Amino acid sequence: MKARILAIAVAGILLAASGCGQDGSNGGLLNLMNARGLSEADVSAALKTYTPTGGRDDYLLFASGGHSGQVMVIGVPSMRILKVIGVFTPEPWQGYGYGDQTNALLSSGDRGDTELRWADTHHPALSETKGDYDGEYLFINDKANARVAVISLKDFVTQQIVTSRLIESDHGATFVTPNTEYVVEPSQYPAPLGGGYAPIEQFNEKYRGAVIFWKFDREKGRIVEAQSWAMELPPYMQDLTDAGKLASDGWVFINSFNTERAWGGTLEGNPPMESGASQNDMDYMHIINWRSAEKVVAAGKTERIAGMRVIRLQTAIDEGLLYFVPEPKSPHGVDVTPDGKEMVVSGKLDTHATVYSWAKVKALIDAGKFVGKDPYGVPILSFEDSIRGQAEIGLGPLHTQYDNKGFAYTSVFLESKVAKWRLSDLQVIEKIPVHYNVGHLVAAEGDTVSPDGGYVVAMNKWAIDRFNNVGPLLPQNFQLIDTSGEAMQLLYDMPIPIGEPHYAQMIKADKLKSIEVYTPIGIDPLTHKVAKNAVQAGQERIERRADGVHVYMTAVRSHFTPDIVRVKEGEHVHLHLTNVEQAKDATHGFAIGSKNINVSIEPGEHADLHFIAGKPGVYPLYCTEFCSALHLEMAGYLLVEPR
């Protein structure tokens, strides 16, 4: 229907264009097309993505910001960036990581005594209810430092960062169980559990993987560390993950590579990791029964390592919580189908998408039918008896997503293509070229129990010749593909200058119910409650206390009250700042030069700032948002008087 309306619209425009020009100045649309060298397909793509002023997008894409440690929010189909959410890294515009609250939040993600201010974010996960996005929370991992963050979609603000010293890195995170009971975080590179040193020659004995199940409390909007637990895994490199749903609810699937347990040593006479790790024809998909594991944890059959309750590997085996099934060489994505009945695995070094049948796997587990054990005693299921079949995809298939018509879409890295194939008969229907080196792809609600269809975004790692030359570090390229018709149509190239995004999820925009201003006045976004030090209009004051000077300040167009702050050299200054406005978009910034002081206070928001007044001097303070005609006058002075 959508396509037909569009066809009529395009035909109408072309008719109008060829007949009487609508735009007298340039001779009509046809001339415009000629002048810009646009084809009919280009115009149709433009019409499908162009969003007139004030228009809204149907979907929001939550994309990882890669090394920036942030999350990007992008409208689909317009592909306009709507927001960058500061998560693991300071974000100056939002004042994220400059005020007391957000500084403390960032510091809560430090590991040991190292201040961490960057992250390698990979996989965002929207919170789910019954396997469907509910629009309440977003989670994302930091591969480099084994961290997980919680973002509230009430205001798109990061709420919490958790990390466990149990593991040193993660990758197959974050993925949530169907009711967001848990946020799942498996390790990637094996290391001694809980930190500490062991010689690499003892890799097989002393190094381990683990998967952490972070318990999420939806009411509180927090991961509850005390209720979280983990399972020890063999020292393979655990990779991408997915939670079972519907038919396979209660289970989690984790891919792995390097079951060879290679650890490199290129200067020590060993093959490099990459060749050592790709000797075996098969690696192991980990099949974990988290619902039973939960009971084993409750029964106390755990050991505490780095403060985390851990089900040891032998316990996991004895209690029937962990099984392996072979998967073709160096797999990457494991993606459970919308009905939860199948798991699709793509191997980077294998041309297939392998379709595992949950019913077959479950029957083998229930019957205790195994073909062997791995070196640590984990039972292995038969590959042939576990699969329904394989789709012949092409070179380097990585990730799979689904639509509402029974089709699967798989990114094909080496071919730089997106393959559309039919789940029922495993036939590839069509491949569309993308530019270039596609990693993940994302379909509209494409990893839920009810995908929408219509759109796929290919997240391409290379752009090569797609954009203007901006030096050797090129943007990456998100390509929007229309999948609503018979044939896939490439609609839009979006350069992504914040890299490297790995994964994204696309949610129907009307599922999000974000607030517009903070009400009542004085809200701390990290608690969503009125802050202890919130300042109401008329209550501004400066108090001298044992711990320093407390300045209770308000901001409203176009002044700060007080606007003169007198302190003594070396004094501790505690600034309590509330934006007392309730008008939409009436944000003020607050900066003091030379002091690294910068916050953003949205309407109704409160922030605390602590700093030490250094040497005597005169420091202008001012609003950093062009908030009104008298914005430049929204200023004052911090006067640091000599002792």
Footprint of ligand RUQ (CB under 6 A): 122-123, 171, 332, 398-399, 439-440, 502
| d(C-alpha 210, C-alpha 188), whole Å | 9
Judged by CB, which is closer to ligand RUQ: 309, or 502? Answer: 502
Distances (CA, A) of 43 to 49, 55, 197, 350, 511: 10, 19, 61, 38, 30
**Does 316 contact ligand CUA by CB under 6 A?**
no
Asked if 121 and 70 touch (Cβ cutoff 8 Å), the reply is yes
Name which of residues 262 to 281 contact ligand CUA (CB under 6 A): none
Contact range with ligand CUA by CB under 6 A, out of 333-341, 361-369, 392-400, 621-629? 621-629
Give 173 or 580: the residue with its C-beta nearer to ligand RUQ: 173
As a whole number of angstroms, the distance between CA 146 and CA 188 comes to 9
Q: How far is Cα 474 from Cα 466, in angstroms, rounded to an integer?
A: 10
Q: Based on C-alpha coordinates, what's the Rg of the chain?
A: 27
Q: What is the nearest approach in angstroms of ligand CUA to the Cβ of residue 10?
A: 45
| Dist CA 181 CA 177 (whole Å) | 6
Partner whose binding site includes residue 122, from ligand CUA, ligand RUQ, none (CB under 5 to 8 Å by kind): ligand RUQ
Nearer to ligand RUQ, 344 or 535 (CB): 344
Instruction: In angstroms, give the least distance from the CB of 333 to ligand RUQ.
Output: 7
Decide: is 193 part of the binding site for ligand CUA (CB under 6 A): no
Residues 6+ apart with CB under 8 A from 463: 435, 436, 474, 475, 476, 477, 495
Q: Which is nearer to ligand RUQ, 189 or 229 (CB)?
A: 189
Partner whose footprint covers residue 588, from ligand RUQ, ligand CUA, none (CB < 5 to 8 Å by kind): ligand CUA
With CB cut-offs between 5 and 8 Å by kind, which of ligand CUA, ligand RUQ, none does residue 634 bind? ligand CUA
Closer to ligand RUQ at the Cβ: 63 or 613?
A: 63
Burial code (b: 16+ CB inside 10 Å, e: under 16) for 528-537 equals eebbebbbee
The set of residues, in sequence order, having a beta carbon less than 8 Å from that of 548 and lying 6+ positions away, is: 571, 572, 573, 574
360 vs 502 by CB, closer to ligand RUQ = 502
Asked if 259 and 284 count as a contact pair (C-beta separation under 8 A), the reply is yes
Q: Verify binding: residue 621, ligand CUA, rule CB under 6 A.
A: no
CA terminus-to-terminus distance, the chain: 77
Q: Binds 341, which of ligand RUQ, ligand CUA, none (CB < 5 to 8 A, cut-off by type)?
A: none
Angstrom distance (rounded) from CA 76 to CA 564: 46
Q: Which is nearer to ligand CUA, 339 or 563 (CB)?
A: 563
Q: Considering the rule CB under 6 A, would residue 625 count as an interface residue with ligand CUA?
A: yes
What's the rounded Cα separation, in Å, for the pair 262 and 276? 5
Look at phi and psi of residue 453 and say left if phi exceeds 0, alpha if psi is from -120 to 50, else beta: left
**Sole window of 38-46, 340-348, 395-403, 622-630 interacting with ligand CUA (rule: CB under 6 A):** 622-630
What residues contact 384, with CB distance under 8 A and at least 6 apart? none
- How far, in Å, CA of 282 to CA of 326, rounded? 6
Q: Which does 398 bind (CB under 5 to 8 A by kind): ligand RUQ, ligand CUA, none?
A: ligand RUQ
Q: Tell the smallest beta-carbon distance from residue 271 to ligand RUQ (Å).
A: 24
CB of 618 to ligand CUA, least distance (A): 21
**Which of the choices ligand CUA, ligand RUQ, none does residue 309 contact, using the CB cut-off of 5 to 8 A by kind?**
none
Minimum CB distance to ligand CUA smaller for 145 or for 587: 587
> Residue 17 or residue 627: which is nearer to ligand CUA going by CB?
627
| Minimum CB–partner distance for residue 516 and ligand CUA (Å) | 18
Residues ≥6 apart with Cβ < 8 Å to 19: none
Among 506, 627, 638, 640, binds ligand CUA (CB under 6 A): 627
Phi then psi for residue 631, to 5 deg, are -60, -45
Out of 147, 309, 360, 588, the only residue in the binding site for ligand CUA (CB under 6 A) is 588
Phi first, then psi: give them for residue 596, nearest 5 degrees: 55, 35
CB 553, min distance to ligand CUA, A: 12
- Binding mask 545-564 vs ligand CUA (x if CB under 6 A, - otherwise)? -------------x------
Pair of tokens at residue 142: 């930091």
Which of residues 122 and 588 has its CB atom nearest to ligand RUQ in the complex? 122
Residue 623 within binding range of ligand CUA, rule CB under 6 A: yes
Q: Which does 625 bind (CB under 5 to 8 A by kind): ligand CUA, ligand RUQ, none?
A: ligand CUA
> Number of residues in contact with ligand CUA, rule: CB under 6 A?
8
Buried-state track 475-487, b at ≥16 Cβ within 10 A, e below 16: bbbbbbbbbbeee
Distances (CA, A) of 227 to 150, 193, 244, 253, 453: 16, 19, 21, 22, 37
CB atoms closer than 10 angstroms to residue 118: 14
Q: How far is the CB of 609 from ligand CUA (least distance, A)?
A: 16
SS3 326: strand
**By Cβ distance, which residue is nearest to ligand RUQ?**
439
Q: Which of 634, 636, 638, 640 binds ligand CUA (CB under 6 A)?
A: 634
Classify the phi-psi angles of 395: left when phi > 0, otherwise alpha if psi is within -120 to 50, otherwise beta.
beta
* Nearest distance in Å: CB 334, ligand RUQ: 11
Q: Kindly list the residues in this chain that would bind ligand CUA in the complex (CB under 6 A).
A: 558, 588, 623, 625-627, 631, 634
